[in-house]
């Protein structure tokens, strides 16, 4: 029972998870046999029968050497499956007995994980780092079960160790079930929370349209409190929708439910589309919104949804907290390493609040200054927007900095131009 869990079961479970998440043609987990200099296949998905890599001895030796040097090796090769030659892409990821820490070079190669894809397969550095980390967790689990096995053999008359092992396995299965139920709950509640609010919002709009369509009623309601009440109802409904969306998005990021979808984004064409709605809003609120692009900005590999969410949230805050006739500046610059998007606006955050603005549910005691120029008395917003922005920036391997002085506040987002681990 224990040896089955140590090798086949845990490795097969890990291979299945990798194949499902990365959508691969196949996954192999192999253990290195130093005496014979061969690789023993522990787990293989799907079961391809007799799978043979058509590698020249020099190429195989080079791959082994690079794996012993703790390198991730990617290449294309001919694979023979059921007497058919197929050209595939491969990635070999080393698994180490004792992962190097603090510069320790004493790590021993335990084995490797092989990812099998076609010529069009694309693996990001984040994907490969995740697979390697998962492989190291696999080795930790196998060593833990091996310890239990040793105790069982040493203490054959003692059934407590075996019961602890069974209890641990059951606990792992229980935790996996809890995680699955939590994921299902997040997906279901996303619809259950949004649907009633969207219905309320639609009903308010239809009511306003109906009232305005009847000239007699429209004249009767002109200046009446009913119009103000409808506007408040619509505004609060929008606020609740935004709050729910932010909570669900933060939950997804914490659980890593959604993967980053990298694509090439041309900033010169993305910016005008992203900023257009705010140009109309700033004009209506008598604010001056201007943009500045320094030199030629190259396209970057990023997640378009995350980029739009970051930009929209920051620019929305800039409009919200800028008074009438105030200025908002959006500038974009690039160097060999970073693309920097800076959003400045004429408002200042006090030093006591500045260190806390990225904390969940932290709200600065100030309200929307743009609509009527009234003196703020109550905090506005949910206190989740900037928390979400910070997590999305981190998800993109970027950085975000804030500074506020002399009546101006600047949020600067730096995103990597090239691939980063």
How high is the pLDDT of residue 1?
40
Domain count, the chain: 3
Look at residue 372 and tell me if it is in a domain. Answer: yes
Max mean pLDDT range (89-98, 102-111, 405-414): 405-414
Is residue 275 assigned to a domain?
yes
- Specify if 310 maps to a domain: yes
Segments forming the whole domain that contains residue 226? 185-255
Per-residue pLDDT reduced to its tens digit, 331-381:
999 988 899 999 999 988 888 888 888 887 777 765 444 444 443 444 455
pLDDT for residue 106 is more than 60: no
Q: What is the pLDDT of residues 109-159, one digit of tens each?
A: 899 999 888 766 677 777 888 888 888 888 887 777 665 555 544 554 444
Q: Is the pLDDT of residue 415 over 90?
A: yes
The pLDDT value given to residue 133: 85
Q: Which two tokens stand for residue 181?
A: 């139920």
Query: In the predicted model, is pLDDT for residue 180 greater than 60?
Result: yes
Q: What is the CATH number of the domain that holds 311?
A: 3.30.565.10
**pLDDT for residue 329:** 94
pLDDT for res 183: 63
- Count of beta carbons in the 10 Å neighbourhood of residue 17: 15
Q: Which of 140, 158, 176 is the last residue of a domain?
A: 158
Does pTM surpass 0.85?
no
If asked whether residues 228 and 305 sit together in one domain, one would say no
- 281, pLDDT greater than 70: yes
**Listed residues 255, 286, 311: the one ending a domain:** 255
Q: For residue 107, what pLDDT is reported?
A: 67
Integer Cα distance of 201 and 216 in angstroms = 24
Domain membership of residue 327 (yes or no) is: yes
Whether residue 320 is found in the same domain as residue 209: no
Which residue matches tokens 């009546």?
407
Q: What is the pLDDT of residue 341?
A: 94
Task: State the first-to-last Cα distance of the chain, in angstroms, to the nearest integer.
Answer: 39
User: Does residue 321 contact residue 348 with C-beta atoms inside 8 Å?
Assistant: no
- Answer yes or no: do 197 and 289 share one domain: no
Q: Examine the pLDDT at 49 and tell me if it is beyond 50.
A: no
Do 124 and 225 belong together in one domain? no
Give the pLDDT confidence score for residue 252 in this predicted structure: 62
Answer yes or no: do 72 and 148 share one domain. yes
pLDDT surpassing 70 at residue 255: no
């Amino acid at each position: 029972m224990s040896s089955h869990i140590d090798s086949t079961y845990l490795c097969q479970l890990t291979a299945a998870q990798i194949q499902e998440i990365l959508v691969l043609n196949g996954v192999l987990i192999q253990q290195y046999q130093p005496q014979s200099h061969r690789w023993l296949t522990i787990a293989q998905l799907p079961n391809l029968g007799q799978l043979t890599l058509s590698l020249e001895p020099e190429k195989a030796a080079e791959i082994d050497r690079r794996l012993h040097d703790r390198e991730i090796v990617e290449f294309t090769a001919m694979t023979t499956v059921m007497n058919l030659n197929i050209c595939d892409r491969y990635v070999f990821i080393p698994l180490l007995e004792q992962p190097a820490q603090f510069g320790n070079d004493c790590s021993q190669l335990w084995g490797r994980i092989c990812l099998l894809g076609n010529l069009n397969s694309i693996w990001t550095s984040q994907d490969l780092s995740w697979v390697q980390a998962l492989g190291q967790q696999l080795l930790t689990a196998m060593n833990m079960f091996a310890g239990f096995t040793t105790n069982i053999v040493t203490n054959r008359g003692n059934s407590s160790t075996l019961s602890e092992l069974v209890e641990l396995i059951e606990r792992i299965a229980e935790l996996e079930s809890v995680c699955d139920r939590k994921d299902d709950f997040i997906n279901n509640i996303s619809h259950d929370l949004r649907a009633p609010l969207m219905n309320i919002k639609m009903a308010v709009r239809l009511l306003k349209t109906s009232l305005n369509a009847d000239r007699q009623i429209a004249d009767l309601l002109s200046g009446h409190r009913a119009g103000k009440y409808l506007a408040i109802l619509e505004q609060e409904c929008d606020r609740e929708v935004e709050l729910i969306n932010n909570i669900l998005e933060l939950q997804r990021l914490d659980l890593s439910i959604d993967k980053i979808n990298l694509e090439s984004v041309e900033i010169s064409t993305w910016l005008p589309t992203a900023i257009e709605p705010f140009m109309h809003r700033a004009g209506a609120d008598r604010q001056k919104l201007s943009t500045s692009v320094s030199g030629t900005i190259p396209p970057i590999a990023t997640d378009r949804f995350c980029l739009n969410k970051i930009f929209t949230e920051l620019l929305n805050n800039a409009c919200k907290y800028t008074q009438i006739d105030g200025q908002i500046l959006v500038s974009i610059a690039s160097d060999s390493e970073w693309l920097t998007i800076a959003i400045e606006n004429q408002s200042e955050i006090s030093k006591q609040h500045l260190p806390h603005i990225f904390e969940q549910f932290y709200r600065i005691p100030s309200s929307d200054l743009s609509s009527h120029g009234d003196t703020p008395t109550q905090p506005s917003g949910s206190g989740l927007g900037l928390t979400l922005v910070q997590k999305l920036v981190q998800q993109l391997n970027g950085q975000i900095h804030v500074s506020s002085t002399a009546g101006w506040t600047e949020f600067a987002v730096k995103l990597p131009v090239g691939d980063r681990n």
